[in-house]
Structure 1
Amino acid sequence: MQENLEKAKEANFNIRKQIRQRMGECLNDLGYQEMVHLIENIDAALKLIRERKYKVLGNQIDTSKKKFRNAEEVHRKLVLDFDARQDDPHYGLVENGGGGGGPRMAAVHMRDHRLHCGSGGTSDLTTFALIE
């Protein structure tokens, strides 16, 4: 057990020394070839890090593009719905300036061409959040 402990301590010391060298410390003990080897190892690690970074950025760009396409599809459907309701004399469209929930557009379907308030009203009210 004592021998295994000494081997583990030595391995721990060597790993800590390598970490310090990669951080730019403890370089005085290195010869020319060891420094060249350290530079090659750091360059290889940097290449892997850059590849991973570009992969993550690519994934984020793809996700953003999908969200944008979904927003475009929602916008297209709202425009088609707006145009269809504009042509229907049973619908009235009202825009308000926003308030707490942001700008909204209301599409009101009037069954008897009048908007009734209070109980027993005969209109259907649908609101859509406007995309800025």
Structure 2
Amino acid sequence: MARGKIQIKKIENQTNRQVTYSKRRNGLFKKATELAVLCDASVSIIMISSSNKLHEQHSPGITPKQVYDKYQRDREVDLWAKQYQNMQKQLQDLNEINRGLQKDIRRRMGDCLEDLAIDELRCLEEEMVNAVKVIRERKTKKIDNNIDTSKKKDIPKEESQYGLVDNGEYNHVLGYNDDNRILALRLQPCQPNLHAGAGSGSCVTTYTLL
């Protein structure tokens, strides 16, 4: 049963349009391959879908550049002339922007000020003052951060501290000297042969532990 003729117009339904594109694209590529093999022809096809996707197929042994070069020679046209002109225009614009930036830098260094009016000089001065203010604030913040970091890293040497050891009699003391070495101090009678009395005293004996 023969298929009915379809009207050649844009398919409004997006899904149907995409399905039709995919089927006919594959059919076209198949016909191009057959034509290249049967007739020893150079065939190059480039297709761009409505969703901006690129599809291409080229005969074996030929590159797209070779096809473009042959087209330009036969048609005596230059496909890249307009693109080259656009690139030259972009280059000129970038060079102009670069020259302007370099001139602004020199002005901030105190050069190229002769052609500036008084209002322009005032604006430049205001910009410089604001820039110095921002730099000073950032510098101050950086210094404060460095000071805080240094304080956290430094361990201050304190004077010798002592604490009693709870052994029931409180006759031992632990402490630290100026070199941060741990000391043990023991209280003992100066005259061990005498009975404890009013005249008895105690002597301090120091032992270095660490």
Please give the range of the TM-score, normalised by the shorter of the 2 chains: 0.5 to 0.7
Q: Does 1:4 align with 2:90?
A: yes
What amino acid is the match of 1:67?
A: K
Correspondences of 1:1-132 after superposition (within 5 Å)? 1-68=87-154, 70-72=155-157, 75=158, 79-80=161-162, 81-82=175-176, 85-88=183-186, 92=207, 107-108=208-209, 126=210
| TM-score normalised by length of structure 1 | 0.58
SS at match of 2:148: helix
Identify which of structures 1 and 2 has the higher relative contact order when contacts are C-alpha pairs closer than 8 Å and 6+ apart: 1
Q: CA RMSD in A?
A: 2.5
1:61-96 Cα shifts (integer Å, max 9, x gaps): 22233234x334xx46x644337734147863xxxx
Q: After alignment, is 25-34 or 78-87 more displaced?
A: 78-87
Larger radius of gyration: 2
What amino acid is the match of 1:20?
A: R
Offset, 1:59: 1.1
SS at match of 2:183: helix
Unmatched 5+ stretches in structure 1 = 93-106, 109-125, 127-132
What amino acid is the match of 1:17?
A: K
Count residues in correspondence: 91
Higher helix share: 1
| TM-score normalised by length of structure 2 | 0.38
Distance 2:186 2:99 in 1: 81
- Identity percentage over the alignment? 37
Distance 1:4 1:88 in 2: 89
